[in-house]
Amino acid sequence: MKSLWQDGNIMPHFGHLNGDCKTDVLIIGGGIAGLLTAYFLHQRNIDYILVEKNTLCSGVTGNTTAKITFQHGLIYQKLVKNIGVDGAKTYLKANQNAFKKYSDLCRKIACDYQVKNNFVYSLDDRRKIEKELDALNKIGYLANFCKNLPLPFDTVGAVEFKNQAQFHPLKFLAHISKNLNIYENTFVKEMIGNTAVTDFGRIEAKNVVVATHFPFINKHGGFSFKLYQHRSYAVALKNAPDVGGMYVDESKKGMSFRNYADCLIVGGGDHRTGKNGGNWQGIRDFVKVNYPESSEKFHWATQDCMSLDDIPYIGKYSKHTKRLFVASGFNKWGMTGAMVAAELLCDMIEEKDNDFAHIFDPSRSVLKPQLLVNGFETVSNLLSFSTKRCPHLGCALKWNDAEHSWDCPCHGTRIDEQGKIIDNPANGH
């Protein structure tokens, strides 16, 4: 099962580590967050090494829908309520800066970059749309209310952000990664302080960036409480209409739409990892009714780390780990989230002030309603009977019939039928 982006071998390849070494910065994880961090360190002439346990972008990054936008659902009304107008402005500014950085880079790279308007719609709650527009007005961003969308169902309204963008993420990342200091197939089995232990040698680093999607070091940061994972599904259709923009439902279980080349990408079927959901069947049922002339060219799934408060965790891994950093919890908005993370972490490594650091601080308060939900899932699944247990923290695994895997509802580890770990936080080959 490969995504549309993974059709064809376009990523450069690198050898594995060969012997012990030292570096100023070790980046663990070869997805978009790790690669962008490496790219900016390279631009700043800072010594670094990036290691990836498999091959570059073989995980979540290769399965994105690749929308570049600072419209992250109906987030701004939540931010105004939870962190105030100034906090919401800071979040917006950080993501606007990330968007501009993509724009500047992508215009020099053949990555199918296109400017498109982005829409967040609601099927049944116009008040949510109006509240989002009110929040955006308070923080000084001009958005539009839209009613009639080129989608095969009625909505009660949508918030439109003009001049957002979409691209081919692997074409972009193939270009920026080709001259970087990277080792593939180099699995970090253990961290001893800031020394990474691999099968091919040890890497001693002054600074370590964990960009492994779900942070794998359990003894710091409390990420097993602060994160859960969410699966999403997509199909790419031929002979389907061009919808002219990018569209996403404000509901986590809703559908998304955007075109690429001769395909319409339809996303949906979402559910918490380890729970039941619509998966591809829900999308295919929808397509059968609404796009009966279309044919399926690709299908794929992805997994997103969800934070307690809809804001990513970017910064020091914990209050007690001065030179250990993390980027995670992008909440389905990994393109701009990764760019924010890369620039913020590079500043922190250089001990430069960054105006956005406090918003994304991983040590901010965990007293959020989602913490109780995460705690309940962990306790109930620890107490559930199952012969299949997660090697991460021992939760009962659930069979995912659509994808033929054993999935953990606590923290999102996925294991195939042969026992190989597909998705972390369980750490293994």
Per-residue model confidence (pLDDT) at position 252: 82
List, in order, residues 6 or more apart from 417 with CB less than 8 Å away.
404, 405, 406
Which regions of 323-409 does DSSP assign to beta strands (E)? Answer: 324-328, 398-400, 405-407
307-335 confidence digits (pLDDT tens): 999 999 999 999 999 899 999 999 999 99
CB-count burial class (<10 Å; 0-12, 13-18, 19+) for 226 = buried
List, in order, residues 6 or more apart from 281 with CB less than 8 Å away.
269, 402
| Least confident stretch, 166-175, 274-283, 285-294 | 274-283
pLDDT at 429 over 60: no
Model confidence at 369, pLDDT cuts 50, 70, 90, reads confident
Per-residue model confidence (pLDDT) at position 175: 97
Q: How far apart are CA 344 and CA 94, in angstroms?
A: 9
Q: CA–CA distance from 29 to each of 55, 188, 307, 328 (Å)? A: 10, 10, 19, 11
Model confidence at 278, pLDDT cuts 50, 70, 90, reads confident
Per-residue model confidence (pLDDT) at position 407: 87
201: number of Cβ within 10 Å: 15
Per-residue model confidence (pLDDT) at position 385: 67
Per-residue model confidence (pLDDT) at position 428: 66
Coil/strand/helix, residue 50: strand
328-343 confidence digits (pLDDT tens): 999 999 999 999 999 9
Q: Give me the percent of the chain exceeding a pLDDT of 70.
A: 98
User: Between these two residues, 78 and 272, which has the higher pLDDT value?
Assistant: 78
User: Between these two residues, 275 and 196, which has the higher pLDDT value?
Assistant: 196
Give the mean model confidence (pLDDT) for residues 170-191: 96
Of 284, 267, 273, 295, which Cα lies nearest the Cα of 65?
A: 267
Q: How far apart are CA 233 and CA 244, in angstroms?
A: 21
CB-count burial class (<10 Å; 0-12, 13-18, 19+) for 57 = buried
pLDDT at 153 over 90: yes
DSSP type of residue 178: T
* Mean pLDDT score of the chain: 93
Structure tokens belonging to residue 395: 């939760």
Model confidence at 388, pLDDT cuts 50, 70, 90, reads confident
pLDDT at 382 over 80: no
* Residues 32, 61 contacting (CB under 8 angstroms): yes
Q: How far apart are CA 328 and CA 341, in angstroms?
A: 9
Which regions of 211-289 does DSSP assign to beta strands (E)? Answer: 228-238, 246-249, 256-260, 263-272
15-71 confidence digits (pLDDT tens): 999 999 999 999 999 999 999 999 999 999 999 999 999 999 998 999 999 999 999
Per-residue model confidence (pLDDT) at position 396: 86
Per-residue model confidence (pLDDT) at position 325: 98
Of 97, 101, 30, 103, which Cα lies nearest the Cα of 61?
A: 30
